[in-house]
Amino acid sequence: MNILIKNVNIVDESHSFYGDLYIENGKIKEIGLDIKRECETIDGNGLTLMPSFIDMHVHFRDPGFTYKEDIETGSRAALRGGFTYVNLMANTNPICSSLEVLEYVNNKAKEIGLIDLHQCLSITKDFDGKTLTPLKELAGNKLIKAISDDGKGVMGSRTMMDAMNIALENNWVVISHAEDHEFSDIDMRLAENMMTWRDISLAKYTGAKLHMAHVSTKEAMEYIVEAKSNGYSNITLEVTPHHIALNTEISNYRVNPPIREEEDRRFLIDAIKKGYVDAIGTDHAPHSKEDKEKGAPGMVGLETAFSISYTTLVKENNLSLNNLSKLMSGRPGEILGIKKGKLTPGYDGDVVLVDLNKKTKVNSEEFASKSKNTPFEGMEYYGEVVTTIKGGKISYKR
């Protein structure tokens, strides 16, 4: 599919200039000035063209909980937020501990054909915390890039070490939900900090690729910064838009890990500005109104991620737009080993047009997601996703 975007501000982690970008047969073919092609053409005057976003941490609830979300509605929510690739967690029903569930998700995504995705395999069978048969039985399977027991975590240290060794052999990323359940009912801060320290220690020992999900405390971030500063490049991390935009004075909305103190929020932002953070991961967690009223933790995030991150990091804290692109596109693409996330010839023609000057009010009734659970209702942010293009085809237009 061919498309030419002209007269636009072109920004990724290494580009920042005014010009044109041409996509041919679904791949970025040319970037430059005054490009002329006989094909569909978009005038991007007044807009900014960026690589579409890649989310390391998403729940689509399919199979098993499709009253909350399914692959089609989740994909439409992703496109509305500027995402064309998401990494799905394994806490479905049944849990993704088998080739059958892996193939179901992948085949359904291909059938729907809206975005690309990766489905994580669970670390332990049905999240039992001890049985590693899924990893052993599916070793070498090309569908798998990452494994995780997200939503629960792996309590046994020896089990986690053995899982890391299997992951190392298969070049898989181990995504850690850092929560020590022995401390969850005492102090959720301690629960996150204890498990973060443990998993970093195991990653140092094994050499496996470890990705720390939804880092939220100052102490957990300090452990990761120390490891990175000492050369452990196998350790990566994400933070969520809600943990950098909210604190306990603003919101007590129930998410896991919880909204933290202002000191934590500031520390996360400082770590981003110093280059220690690898990704913005939404932890898009759809729930029905009834489930939220019963106390289910989580919020939807795909459709608000860019505007919240842009406003909080770029407008309020002077992060460059190049660095935001690296967090939302370039680095996640590298971690997952895909040719997306950069405006480079040969990369997938997945791009997004945004209006950085447009201020919008969050209205969950406009969401494409089935679920409307957000603490940002009625709040105003800059940066509107205008058009999402996947493989050279317009897949969403505001």
Instruction: List residues with catalytic annotation.
Output: 283
* Pairing of β 235-239 and β 209-212: parallel
Tell whether 281 is in a known binding site: no
Tell whether 45 is in a known binding site: no
Tell whether 37 is in a known binding site: no
Tell whether 363 is in a known binding site: no
Tell whether 297 is in a known binding site: yes
* Pairing of β 351-361 and β 380-390: antiparallel
Buried b (16+ CB within 10 A) or exposed e, 145-169: bbbbbbbbbbbeeebbbbbbbbbbe
- Report which DSSP code applies to 61: -
- Report which DSSP code applies to 312: I
Measured distance CA(102)–CA(68) in Å, rounded: 20
Q: How many CA atoms lie within 13 A of 258 on its CB side?
A: 17
Tell whether 91 is in a known binding site: yes
Contacts of 281 (CB under 8 A, 6+ apart): 55, 56, 57, 213, 214, 238, 239, 240, 332
Contacts of 362 (CB under 8 A, 6+ apart): 304, 374, 376, 377, 378, 379, 380, 381
Paired with 280 in beta bridges are 239
Tell whether 247 is in a known binding site: no
Tell whether 150 is in a known binding site: yes
Tell whether 287 is in a known binding site: yes
Tell whether 391 is in a known binding site: no
Tell whether 298 is in a known binding site: yes
Tell whether 187 is in a known binding site: no
Residue 383 burial (C-beta neighbours within 10 Å; 0-12, 13-18, 19+): buried
Tell whether 76 is in a known binding site: no
H helices of 230-363, where?
241-245, 262-273, 289-293, 305-309, 321-325, 331-336
Tokens of 276: 């220690």
Annotated binding site for substrate: 59-61, 91, 256, 287, 297-298
Residue ranges of the annotated binding site are 57, 59-61, 91, 150, 177, 214, 256, 283, 287, 297-298
Residues comprising the binding site for Zn(2+)?
A: 57, 59, 150, 177, 214, 283
